[in-house]
Structure 1
């Protein structure tokens, strides 16, 4: 394996073992740097001169570039069980990401930078899902701005080679369960992620009705961060809803449940993820990235998917682009 793959595998196994986000990120950062290296052996001193590479990651680069399995990786793999290896296989099967943001809404980087970072990771496709109009705090896209963004995405794809940036939106689920964008525009998009961002403390029954209506809407492809919880800092409790009813509606409609990889979300919680797996739902392992380096967060989602016994067939983010688009087209009828 090449140095970048070795570093990425270490990052995944550290994630699997519950290592700190900071430690996992160090190996992803080094993997990004290693991708720029030419083929051939690289000694540790030279590797240390790469940005973001320290003593441990430099040694991994030196060993892998010389055709050896890095000792640090071998130690982690020896301790890992078959479930962890299944998780790595799932991660290796990833083809795209259904949820990322640019500076057109609340992301921090241009469309081109986000797309280029996804392509550099080996993705075949990624979906641009900036926010919808009513989320003004996140500079949500009006219909006019979304139309302009569709042109910008088309211009990017004209020069992107085999990689494809798919059109999309993270659309607010309104209180009546409808979607916060013009239906005609939603019909033009490749992928629609529908999420609750307002009235998160609503009573259980109205929230359930709201979510069920949204996932049954034929234009909805993915239910985003279903509980809305925040697990870091001051935190935010999960919304209250009948998860069995919502996931049954997702399974019946063919709407995927998002496994959101943001460290502050890790949504759905384990007990709800187990319910969604049991209900027969499809899933999308999404980073919800607002910056290029956040696209690495997918390791945590695939680790969780493997722990719950999910295979690639139920993870739409492992599907080839044509299959993904056939699925979203079929939802619209």
Structure 2
């Protein structure tokens, strides 16, 4: 039986989708290239080549004119024009003069990512394979918890099923990379977490974030966050202010709380403060980042990726960490997987 087609055309289509995601382009464009890659992946190479030569690629489901042109070029051994344009427009450095690149080279993984099980745009295995391609040793899958219904948060039952998928993905890898079991769990109004203790216990790592009532009165917000930090199994305090500074969702001011009290609690209880690398978040703001540094906190530089191409956002967080002088060994995702897991479950 002839091998399925798994060569240049699939690679080119996936790379274009990655670059579009990296550049925060329209989702429908990304889906077109990923769908075309999925359509030709199981086909024999001879069929793809014959269709490219006959001009019948668009008869395949999910292959349109633009994706057919990419496939035809790749099959003929040419660099697809659409790929070359994407590389030129979207493939360059995300920071000026190499800022953050030295620290980025020291990161071994990413502790905050989403799949299409919640509000991400790609399957779990696509996120894992892309993490391997960008050089990670590990990626923590952190889909949302049930209260965040708008993001299709996972009930305990769905999370249980997801853990089985993660195990299956790892079983197909050679052990050089690990997809780790995680969650981005909501910090509820009283400081408890939005998932059962049993399920939290079964995870490798837990990012906890405030997603609701961001305008809560500062004293209440402080109690809410400090209670979560000091009494639950959380490991990383995600995007601590919840602010939005740019982007398609508009802007939003950050929540107000006693940052000194929150960061001192993090330092005392070994909870890492997330440096969220999404361009629309840049959270914490620089003043709070400096407070957390001075409080002795650990940090996690995370992409909060909702698509494979967004895994490249990490360098933006690295640029900010370098700018305020955070030592690399205080950044938990510079650690080996074993050291990270010992910390998260110690």
Name the TM-score class by shorter chain. Answer: 0.7 to 0.9
TM-score normalised per structure 2: 0.73
Instruction: Provide the residue aligned with 2:132 in structure 1.
Output: 119
Among 83, 89, 101, the alignment partner of 1:52 is 83
Among 162, 169, 172, the alignment partner of 1:159 is 172
Query: Matches of 1:189 and 1:101 in 2, distance apart?
Result: 15
- For the pair 1:298 / 2:314, whether they are aligned, the reply is yes
**Offset of 1:196 from its aligned partner?**
0.2
Instruction: Provide the residue aligned with 2:202 in structure 1.
Output: 188
Query: Matches of 1:247 and 1:126 in 2, distance apart?
Result: 25
Q: Which has the larger radius of gyration?
A: 2
What is the number of residues matched between the two proteins?
A: 268
Among 141, 146, 153, the alignment partner of 1:128 is 141
Query: Matches of 1:271 and 1:47 in 2, distance apart?
Result: 50
- For the pair 1:104 / 2:117, whether they are aligned, the reply is yes
The gaps in structure 2 that reach 5 residues or longer are 1-21, 25-76
- C-alpha root-mean-square deviation of aligned residues, in Å? 2.4
**Offset of 1:232 from its aligned partner?**
1.2
TM-score normalised per structure 1: 0.76
- For the pair 1:140 / 2:156, whether they are aligned, the reply is no
Equivalence map 1:219-298=2 (5 Å): 219-233=233-247, 234-298=250-314
Query: Matches of 1:307 and 1:100 in 2, distance apart?
Result: 24
**Offset of 1:57 from its aligned partner?**
4.7
SS at match of 1:214: helix
Kept after mapping to 1: 8 A contact 2:216/2:255: yes
Query: Matches of 1:298 and 1:172 in 2, distance apart?
Result: 23
SS at match of 1:53: helix
Query: Matches of 1:140 and 1:246 in 2, distance apart?
Result: 26
Query: Matches of 1:50 and 1:259 in 2, distance apart?
Result: 36
**Offset of 1:89 from its aligned partner?**
2.0
Query: Matches of 2:245 and 2:83 in 1, distance apart?
Result: 28
The gaps in structure 1 that reach 5 residues or longer are 1-20, 24-45, 62-71
Kept after mapping to 1: 8 A contact 2:192/2:232: no
Q: Aligned in 2, Cα 1:48/1:325: closer, same or farther, shift over 3 Å?
A: same
Query: After TM superposition, which residue ranges in structure 1, 4 or more long, deviate above 3 angstroms?
Result: 46-52, 54-58
